[in-house]
Amino acid sequence: MILQLLWQAQVRHYRPLVERIIAQTERRVLAGEPVPAGEKLVSLFEPHADIIVATSITVTSSI
């Protein structure tokens, strides 16, 4: 019984995230629509994760 309740809680947590990923993929891949970074879900298991945009990186070395 407890395992069933835990499983149901996980399904309730992950289902909206999976639906959001499917929707953004349909928009981006099938419809060719750009999805703004603020609307993207980049990690199913860490929904708070942000996209890191690398513009230019300067590497200095003191050998």
Per-position pLDDT tens, the chain of length 63 = 899 999 999 999 999 999 999 999 999 999 999 998 888 888 888 877 777 777 766 667 776
Give the integer Cα–Cα distance in Å for 28 and 35.
Answer: 6
CB-based contacts of 47: which residues, under 8 Å, 6+ apart?
Answer: 17, 41
Give the integer Cα–Cα distance in Å for 41 and 46.
Answer: 9
What are the residue boundaries of the structural domains of the chain, listed by start? 1-63
CB-based contacts of 42: which residues, under 8 Å, 6+ apart?
Answer: 49, 50, 51
